[in-house]
Structure 1
Amino acid sequence: MATRAKRQPRIEPTFGDTGSSLLDLRLGPRDRPTAPSGKKTSKTKSRKSTKTSSKKPAGKKSTPSRRSQTKKSTASRRGGRSGSKRRSQKRKNRFQARTAFGRLLKRGLYWSMVLGIWGSIAVVCIIGYYAAFLPPTSEWQVPARPPNVKIVASNGSLIANRGDTGGEAVRLEQLPPYLPNAVIAIEDRRYRSHIGVDPIGLARALYINVTAGRLTQGGSTLTQQLAKNLFLEPDRTIKRKIQELVLAFWLEAEYSKDEILEMYLNRVYLGSGAYGVDAAARRYFGKSARLLTIPEAATIAGLLKAPSRYSPARNPDLAEDRAQLVLAAMHEEGYITAGEAKNALAAPAQVVRRYTTASENYAADWVMDVLPHFVGSIEKDIIVDTTIDPGMQGAAETALRAALSENRQTLGVSQGAVVTLDTAGAVKAMVGGADYSKSQFNRAVYAKRQPGSAFKPFVYLAALENGMTPQSVRQDKPITIGGWSPKNYTKQHYGAVTLTRSLSLSLNTVAAQLAYEVGVGTVASTAQRLGITSDMKKNLSLSLGTSEVTPLEIASAYVPFSNGGYGVLPHIIRRIRTVDGKTLYSRSGDGRGRVVARGAVGNMNLMMAETLMTGTGRKARLDSGRPAGGKTGTSQDFRDAWFIGYTGNLTTAVWFGNDNNSPTKKATGGSLPAIVWKEVMDKAHDGLPVADLPGVPNLPANVSAPRKPVPNATVGSGSEPIPPAPIGGDPEPGDRRGPLNLLRNLFGGG
Structure 2
Amino acid sequence: MSDTRKGKRPLVADRRYPKTRAKPTAKKPAPKRRKAAKPKRSGNILTRAFRWMLRLIWKITWRVAFVACAGLALAVGYFWTTLPDVDRLLDGRARGSVTLMDQDNAVFAWRGDQFGGAVTTQTVAPGLKNAVVATEDKRFYRHFGLSPRGIASAVRINLSEGRGALQGHGGSTITQQTAKLLCLGVEYDPPEWKTEAAYVADCRRGSLARKAKEAVYALAMEVKYSKDEILSIYMNRAYMGGGAYGAEAASQRYFGKHAAEVTPAEGAMLAGLLTAPSRLAPTSDLQRSQDRAATVLRLMGEQGYLSDADVAKWQANPAVLSAAARRQAGGYFADWVMSTGPEFFTRNTTEDVIIRTTLDQRIQRSAEEALKFVFENKVREGSKAQAAIVVMSADGAVRAMVGGRETRVSGVFNRAIQAERQTGSAFKPFVYAAALELGYSPYDTVEDVPMTLDIPGSGPWSPRNYDNKFRGRVTLMDSLAQSLNIPTVKVSESVGRDLVRRVASDFGIESDLAAGPALALGASESTLLEMTGAYAGILNGGFSVTPYGLIDLRLQGDDQPLMGTGGGIGERVIQENAAAELIWMMEKVVSQGTGGRAQFGGREIAGKTGTTQAARDAWFIGFTADYVTGVWMGYDDNTPLTGVTGGGLPTEIWRETMVRVHDGLPVHPLPMQAPAGVAPQRQQPAPSSQQRDVPRSTEGLIQMLLNDILGGGGGGSRTNENRSGSDR
What's the TM-score once normalised by structure 2's chain length? 0.77
Aligned CA distance change for structure 1 residues 542 and 685 (closer, same or farther; 3 Å): same
- The answer as to whether partners of 1:488 and 1:719 remain within 8 angstroms in 2 is yes
Which residue matches 1:218? Answer: 170
2:487 partner letter: V
Which residue matches 2:562? Answer: 584
The yes-or-no answer on 1:427 pairing with 2:398 is yes
The yes-or-no answer on 1:617 pairing with 2:595 is yes
TM-superposition CA deviations, 1:53-90 (whole Å, max 9, x none): xxxxxxxxxxxxxxxxxxxxxxxxxxxxxxxx9xxx9x
Which residue matches 1:487? Answer: 464
- The answer as to whether partners of 2:545 and 2:567 remain within 8 angstroms in 1 is no
Which residue matches 2:663? Answer: 686
Alignment of 1:378-397 (within 5 A): 378-397=349-368
- The answer as to whether partners of 1:168 and 1:279 remain within 8 angstroms in 2 is yes
1:234 partner letter: R
Aligned CA distance change for structure 1 residues 491 and 95 (closer, same or farther; 3 Å): closer
TM-superposition CA deviations, 1:465-513 (whole Å, max 9, x none): 2231111100111111121111111111211111011000000001111
Identity %: 37
- The answer as to whether partners of 1:411 and 1:666 remain within 8 angstroms in 2 is no
Which residue matches 1:401? Answer: 372
Which residue matches 2:18? Answer: none
2:670 partner letter: L
Q: 2:208 aligns with which of 238, 243, 248?
A: 238
RMSD across aligned C-alpha pairs, in angstroms?
A: 4.0
Bigger Cα displacement from structure 2, 205-214 vs 575-584: 205-214
Shift of 1:210: 6.0
TM-superposition CA deviations, 1:251-292 (whole Å, max 9, x none): 556655444434423432345655444565677778775665
C-alpha distance in 2 between matches for 1:211 and 1:326? 25
The yes-or-no answer on 1:168 pairing with 2:119 is no
C-alpha distance in 2 between matches for 1:137 and 1:171? 20
Which residue matches 1:604? Answer: 582
1:328 partner letter: R
TM-superposition CA deviations, 1:188-228 (whole Å, max 9, x none): 22333545444554454456556766444313222322332
Aligned CA distance change for structure 1 residues 535 and 637 (closer, same or farther; 3 Å): same
C-alpha distance in 1 between matches for 2:316 and 2:662? 44
Q: 2:62 aligns with which of 94, 105, 113?
A: 113
C-alpha distance in 1 between matches for 2:439 and 2:349? 52
2:357 partner letter: T
TM-superposition CA deviations, 1:422-462 (whole Å, max 9, x none): 12111111111111357822111211111110000011111
C-alpha distance in 1 between matches for 2:338 and 2:221? 34
Structure 1 gaps, min length 5: 1-16, 24-84, 725-750
C-alpha distance in 2 between matches for 1:312 and 1:602? 51
1:223 partner letter: T
- The answer as to whether partners of 2:119 and 2:248 remain within 8 angstroms in 1 is no
C-alpha distance in 1 between matches for 2:238 and 2:102? 28
Q: 1:542 aligns with which of 476, 495, 519?
A: 519
TM-superposition CA deviations, 1:145-179 (whole Å, max 9, x none): 332211121122221111134x6346345643212
Bigger Cα displacement from structure 2, 209-218 vs 503-512: 209-218
C-alpha distance in 2 between matches for 1:317 and 1:677? 34
Structure 2 gaps, min length 5: 9-34, 184-201, 455-459, 687-703
TM-superposition CA deviations, 1:93-115 (whole Å, max 9, x none): x9999999987765554332123
Shift of 1:656: 1.2
C-alpha distance in 2 between matches for 1:488 and 1:410? 32
Aligned CA distance change for structure 1 residues 694 and 322 (closer, same or farther; 3 Å): closer
The alignment of Structure 1 onto Structure 2 pairs a total of residues equal to 637
- The answer as to whether partners of 1:561 and 1:694 remain within 8 angstroms in 2 is no
Shift of 1:185: 1.2
Q: 1:366 aligns with which of 311, 323, 336?
A: 336
Which residue matches 2:30? Answer: none
- The answer as to whether partners of 1:562 and 1:694 remain within 8 angstroms in 2 is yes
- The answer as to whether partners of 1:148 and 1:168 remain within 8 angstroms in 2 is no
Alignment of 1:690-729 (within 5 A): 690-694=667-671, 696-697=673-674, 699-703=676-680, 704-705=685-686, 707=705, 708=707, 709-710=709-710, 714-715=716-717, 716-722=720-726
The yes-or-no answer on 1:303 pairing with 2:273 is yes
Structure with more relative contact order (C-alpha pairs < 8 Å, separation 6 or more)? 2
Which residue matches 1:148? Answer: 97
The yes-or-no answer on 1:512 pairing with 2:489 is yes
Bigger Cα displacement from structure 2, 556-565 vs 674-683: 674-683
Determine helix, strand or coil for the equivalent of 1:631: strand
- The answer as to whether partners of 2:108 and 2:329 remain within 8 angstroms in 1 is no
C-alpha distance in 1 between matches for 2:441 and 2:56? 115
C-alpha distance in 1 between matches for 2:325 and 2:473? 55
Aligned CA distance change for structure 1 residues 239 and 597 (closer, same or farther; 3 Å): farther
Q: 1:462 aligns with which of 416, 434, 442?
A: 434
TM-superposition CA deviations, 1:685-717 (whole Å, max 9, x none): 234443333352551322444641337653431
C-alpha distance in 2 between matches for 1:444 and 1:234? 40
Which residue matches 2:388? Answer: 417
Determine helix, strand or coil for the equivalent of 1:674: helix
Determine helix, strand or coil for the equivalent of 2:506: helix
TM-superposition CA deviations, 1:573-593 (whole Å, max 9, x none): 112233324232333875313
C-alpha distance in 1 between matches for 2:461 and 2:383? 30
TM-superposition CA deviations, 1:617-669 (whole Å, max 9, x none): 1111131x232211011111111111101122211101111111111112111
- The answer as to whether partners of 2:645 and 2:727 remain within 8 angstroms in 1 is no
Aligned CA distance change for structure 1 residues 205 and 563 (closer, same or farther; 3 Å): same
Which residue matches 2:457? Answer: none
C-alpha distance in 2 between matches for 1:374 and 1:594? 33
- The answer as to whether partners of 1:285 and 1:351 remain within 8 angstroms in 2 is yes
- The answer as to whether partners of 1:615 and 1:723 remain within 8 angstroms in 2 is no
